[in-house]
Structure formats: structure tokens, C-alpha cells
Amino acid sequence: MALEGNVKLVGILFLFFGGAIAVAAIALLPSPVERACFIAAGVALELLGLTLLARDYAHDAKNALGPRSSR
Amino acid sequence: MSFALCLLCILLIPLATAGLALMHQGLGRSRSAAHAMVATLCVLAVTSLVFVLFGISVAGSSGSSSYSLVLGGSSWDWIGAGHLADRGIFFQGPDGGLALCFEMFVVAMAGIIPVSTGSDRWRLLTICIASALLAGIAFPLFAHWVWSGGWLAKLGLNFGIGTGFIDAGGSGTIHVLGGLTALSLAWIIGPRRGKYTGDGFPTAIPGHNIVLVLFGCLLALIGWIGLNSAGSMLFYNAAPDAIPRILLNTMLCTSAACLATVVTTRIRYGKPDASLIANGWVSGLVASSAGCAVISPGAAVLIGLVAGAAVMYLVEFLELKLNIDDPGGAISVHAGAGVWGLLAAGIFSSTSGQLLAQIVGIAALLGFMLPLIHGLNLLVNLFVKQRVDADGDRQGMDVRELGAGAYPEFVVHGDEFLPR
């Protein structure tokens, strides 16, 4: 239950850490192949975060517009 | 760089903003039409003032002072360290003044993108607050990274990744940023009343004036030619003889996108859909912006075809699968086509490693800009509700916030639509 309430926060954190991984790869990895792999991993984490956020907000929208909603 | 030519191109940019404003107004409901145009004017006013008074010190300009970090043995230029209220900008030669005018116009364009998404339910006060935050914090920060010699612009110089992040006409800096703001807002304020049935199925709420929407597309084209040309000259040292190529690429990309949308909507719905064709047209303009100065005309056609064909599916995906109510399709058109334009500038570039540089730029937009924008919008919503109350939802924004409708003599005769 507690995890459900924090899905948006987890999504935001995934977005941020995905970006941080991509930036860190540029700074710390000299090999172009390793750098590209870590940047791809960072972007993948961002996409996961975006998916979590989008699904949770879609869930909220469905709940708010249900038959018993005042909206 | 030709000062006169660049100034002329910058003067065309407000036409793109006017075109987008007409599109947003026409794609919304008639009961919120005046509100949409008033919101556009307020966004222009707020973003111009906030950017010139504060944002420019964060955005800086190429060669101006900035704050840097040393990480991994290299310098990372993160944020401008300019003076507040543009003090000093005009003393850095004519280019500084031109860049300021360019950025002042384009931040307004980024600011009006979410107005389309929030149509019929986003309050004027919170529109102004959100626009001020965009013009004062998010846009200047990313503009510094890309256009003022920041870390994204120097990816090539410092780390050997292509020639650095390329975004001449602002596919990322203007449109993805505006589109992500629109996405954040759509999440916070939720769908319009009546958009979804109780079981979550979307209903069609057509735009009220499709002629204005299509006229807006034509205005936007003129503005975009100025936008892409001025950005290429100011930030990528494009010579005046490169302008015909930029113009050609912009037009070819837009034309291909428009025709791709005509064909895809014809196949999907049996007839071409006017509002989606307008979205396809603008998605072509948006996708053309990033690489307009470096891609070939053939690549521009391919970029446009993909942008135009994808926009319909993206609009459907957001509406049906994610329950995102975006009346003007701003998220699909600006964020979706913007990301594709950035990627395409890397895919079709002849420089090795350019695609990686573009992906890093997209990662920065998603990883740093979206959390920043969403956090700021949530903070605003905590103190001032972004969405109008239930009465406003029923009345429409014109009557609720302006006290009068846009079309006081407009009467709908129900029996006009009955079969005779």
C-alpha cells in the first residue's frame, strides 16, 4: 500500500538517476563503447520512470472520472 | 553573420507564436476561446518580462561569464553568471542583443505550448505563475546548456562526442521543454469534464474553429523559417548563403509531414482529419528545427514523413491508453516530434558520434528538466489550485474568468444537425 502511494516519487527518481547515469558515463568512462552502453542504460531507466509516472497518473485520472466522481 | 538578415529572421518569429495561438484557440471549445487568447497574451507578457529581468542572467550568452564544475578532469559549464535585468548584455556586441531578442521571443513560444493542453480548465493566475517559472528557471537553464556554450554544446570539444548537442531551431530547447511542461500540467489538472465516460472511454470534443487552426498553420510556417534561420546563424555560425538550404529543409520536412498525416488519417478514419493534419503540419515544423542547417533535403523529407505519420498514433496513445486529455495535441506535436527531430539530427548527420550527443541531450531533458518542471508545477498546485473549480468546469472559462463569452451572439440551433 505504501509503495503504491510512492509510485510517482519512484518514477521521478528513476528519471533523475537515469539522467545522472548518462552524465556520469560521459565524465567517467573514456571508452566510447562503455560510454554508449551506460548512456543507453541511463535512458532506459528514464523511460521506466516515465512509464511509472504515466501509468500512475492514468490510474488517478480513471479513479477521478469514475461514476461516483463529482467532476 | 549578417546582422540585418538575422534581425529580419528574428522579427518573423512572433508569427510562429501567433500561428500556434490561433491553433490552440481553434482546437478548444467556443466557451473558452477568449480565455485561450487572453492566456496567450498574458504568457507573452509574463515570459518576456521574467526572461529579460531574470532569465537572461541564468541563460547567459556565448562567451559570457558562467559557473562551472570540474568533474572527471573536465570543465562542466552548468549555469550562466550574468547580471540581472540584462545589465551588460548589450555591451557584448550586436550578437548579444540579437540572442537576447531571439530568446525572448522563443521563450514565449515555449510558454504557450501548455496553454493548449490546459484548454477549458487551466486558470489564468496559475498560467501566469507556471509561465514565469518556465521563463525564469527551466528554459534559461537548458538554453544555457545548448545555446550559450554550456556542457551540452561542448560535448564535442570536451569529450569528443560528435560536434556537441545540435539544436539550431529549438526542437529540444523550445518544443520538448514546452511539451514536457504540457505533459506535467495534463497530469496535474486531469481531463476536461465530459472527456471520459464513467468507464474511462474517451469521447470526442471537436475544436470549434478549424479554419483558424489551418490559418494558424500557414502563419506558423513563416515564423518557423525565421526561427530556424535565426537560430542557425546565432548559435551555429550559419552563413547567409546557408539560409536557402535551411528554408528548403524546413519546407520539405513540413510538406512531407503534412502529406503523411493526410494519408495515415485517410487510411485510419476513411477521410483525412483536418485537426490532425494541422497537428501533422506543426510536427513537421518542430522536427525540422534541430538539424535544419546540417541535414540534406532528402533527409528532411524522411524526417517529415516519420513525424507526420507518428503524430496520429501518439495522439491516440495518449488519449486512449494514458487518459491524457490534450485538446490541441501539444504533447504529441511538440514533445513527440521534438524528440524525433533531435534524434534525426544525429541519425542523418555525417559526423561520427553525433547520435550519441543527441541522445545525451534528450536524456538531460527527461532526467533533469521534466523532474524540475513537474516539481515546480506540483509546488504551485500546492498553494494555488491549477484547475478551475467544478462550477468553472460547467460554465466554461470565458464566463468564469473573463465574465463574458467570445461569441455573445453565437447560438447553436440543435435542429440544424438533425437529418432532413
pLDDT at B412 (0 to 100) = 56
Q: A57 to chain B: which residues are within 8 Å by CB?
A: 187, 322-324
Query: Does the beta carbon of B391 lie under 8 angstroms from any beta carbon of chain A?
Result: no
| pLDDT score of B419 | 52
CB contact under 8 A, B200 and A62: yes
Look at residue B88 in the predicted model and tell me its pLDDT.
Answer: 58
Q: Which residues, including other chains, have CB under 8 Å from residue B376's CB and lie 6 or more apart?
A: B130, B133, B137, B138
pLDDT of residue B279: 96
Average pLDDT along chain B = 90
- Residues in chain B predicted with pLDDT less than 70, given as ranges, are 85-94, 410-420
The C-alpha atoms of residue A9 and residue A49 are separated, in whole angstroms, by 9
Three cell numbers at B174? 523550445
Nearest residue on chain B to A36, alpha-carbon basis: B356
- Report if pTM > 0.90: yes
Task: Work out the minimum CA distance from A44 to partner chain B, whole angstroms.
Answer: 10
- 3-state SS, residue B122: strand
Q: Give the domain ranges of chain B.
A: 3-65+80-402
- Which candidate in B154, B157, B323 is best for mutational testing of the A interface (most A CBs within 10 A)? B323
Contact list, A71 vs chain B (CB under 8 Å): 190, 193, 390, 393
pLDDT band at A69 (very low <50, low <70, confident <90, very high): very low
Q: Are B247 and B229 in contact (CB under 8 A)?
A: yes
- B374 in A contact zone (CB under 8 Å): yes
Q: How confident is the model at residue A71 (pLDDT cuts 50, 70, 90)?
A: very low
Q: Which residue has the cell 523529407?
A: B301
The CATH class given to the B3-65+80-402 domain equals: mainly alpha
Cell numbers representing residue B412 in the block? 447553436
A20: exposed, middle or buried (Cβ count in 10 Å: 0-12, 13-18, 19+)? middle
pLDDT digits over B140-173, tens only?
999 999 998 899 999 998 888 999 999 999 999 9
- φ, ψ (nearest 5 deg) of residue B193: -60, 130
Nearest to B364 among A12, A19, A57 (CB): A19
Q: Which of residues 32-91 of B touch A (CB under 8 A)?
A: 71-72, 74, 76
- Interface A:B, Cβ pairs < 8 A: 97
pLDDT of residue B86: 57
- B317: which chain A residues are within 8 Å (Cβ-Cβ)? none
Of the CA atoms within 13 Å of residue B238, those in its CB half-sphere come to 27
Which chain A residues contact residue B375 at CB under 8 A? 12
Widest pairwise Cα distance in chain A: 58
Per-residue pLDDT of B341-369, as tens digits, reads 999 999 999 888 899 999 999 999 999 99
Is the CB of residue B98 less than 8 Å from the CB of residue B108? no
Q: What is the secondary structure of A2-71 as a DSSP string?
A: HHHHTHHHHHHHHHHHHHHHHHHHHHH--SHHHHHHHHHHHHHHHHHHHHHHHHHHHHHHHHHTSTT---
The answer to whether B187 contacts A35, with C-beta atoms less than 8 Å apart, is no
Between chains, do A36 and B375 touch, taking CB under 8 Å as contact? no
Residues in Cβ contact with B417 at an 8 Å cutoff, skipping those fewer than 6 apart: none
* pLDDT given at position B83: 72
